[in-house]
Amino acid sequence: MEERALNVEKEEILQHPDYQQELLDILRSKVSPKILQEKVLDYHENDVAAVLQKLTKEERNKFYLYFEPQRLSDVFEYLEDARPYFEELSVKKRAGVLACMEADVAVSLLRSLSKTDRATLIDLIDDEAKRDIALIGSFEEDEIGSRMTTNYIKVSANMTAKQAMYSVVEQAEENDNISTIYVVDENGVFYGAIDLRDLLIARDSTELEDLILTSYPYIYGQETIDECLERLKEYSEDSIPVLGNGNKMLGVITSQSVVEVLEEAMGEDYAKLAGLTAEEDLREPMVESIKKRLPWLLVLLGLGMLVSTVVGLFESVVSELTIIICFQSLILDMAGNVGTQSQLSPSVF
């Protein structure tokens, strides 16, 4: 009896609250917009993004009306496919959300839009966001520069420790990747990195040079993802600087981006093992999947009937040596295996 009571108590302790249901109840309640905003702000953006997909279009339009572009951009970054929801916004709000997004996420979203919508939105966003988007958009999708972010903090190599600390405080309002401070010279060339902890505990008399790690790892934006992925995995840093021509610092690749790239690479490999061209094929509509595969299935059906006809021509031989029919399926399966291995060898093994 006592043991049962302990098990019940343990289950109650381990029971997680249903944040998504709580959010649904709040968003569908009749409270005033101000109270609704205050309540929703208490929840993580990932939970809000999950709930957004469960709302009706009318309910989503109310949600868009109640929240500022900054909050909406944070929520949209957690959506697997933000484009359908992004297109429900007014043009003005789209531009505001785009300007608040991480530049790499904004570039990815822009690439999914039509050329006309893309040009319209780029004209509406502020110059700083436009520069960041243009910088990351200048890289090909298979280059690591397309995955970097301009959300980082940098200080000048000729500053004192006290000046560097003031500069970090000023930049921290707009940049939240602050665990590592990057140091550049007067020409913007990468010089090294400083751990935030070292800067915080440094005395006013400490020379900034004494805090800088000049052998800090870095990558070039033009390197392909496949080329530098293994090197990025070797370091356990929160972010790695991305350099351009003349070793000028362009941005950083965060550990979160590295994890996302790894997941995509693994997903593609698993998809190829399943005979698919890409991971996205796993989620494509059934009609599209049938359209792609039906012609090949018909061709294979015809070839199968041809093989059966050829076997039929040797019916007299088979009737005398029936044991050989046991090897027919084995030989056909070997042919299929050879084809599969030939397809996978260059990309997976």
**Residue 194: CA atoms inside 13 Å, Cβ hemisphere, count?**
29
Instruction: Give the contacts of 46 (CB within 8 A, at least 6 positions apart).
Output: 78
Model confidence over 199-245: pLDDT tens digits? 888 887 788 888 999 999 999 999 988 888 888 888 878 889 999 99
With a cut of 90, say whether residue 286 has pLDDT above it.
no
Q: State residue 11's pLDDT score.
A: 54
**So what CATH class is 153-266?**
alpha beta
Structure tokens at 145: 């520069």
CA 271 vs CA 268, 283, 339: distances in Å: 5, 11, 16
Of the candidates 129, 128, 133, the residue with the CA atom closest to the CA atom of residue 145: 133
Mean pLDDT of all residues in 268-295: 62
Range 7-139 has CATH code 1.25.60.10: yes
Give 308 or 248, the one with higher predicted confidence: 248
With a cut of 60, say whether residue 297 has pLDDT above it.
yes
Q: Sign of the C-alpha dihedral, residues 44, 181, 186, 166?
A: positive
Query: How much is the pTM?
Result: 0.68
Give 135 or 297, the one with higher predicted confidence: 135
pLDDT confidence tier of residue 155, bands split at 50, 70 and 90: very high
Contact 130, 83 (CB under 8 A): no
Strand pairing report for 180-184 and 153-156: parallel
| Coil vs helix vs strand at 231 | helix
Mean pLDDT of all residues in 163-180: 87
pLDDT confidence tier of residue 17, bands split at 50, 70 and 90: confident
Count Cβ atoms within 10 A of the Cβ of residue 93 and give its class: 0-12 exposed, 13-18 middle, 19 or more buried: middle
Highest mean pLDDT among 200-209, 301-310, 327-336: 200-209
Rounded CA gap, 160 and 25, in Å? 53
CA 68 to centroid of chain Cα atoms: 23
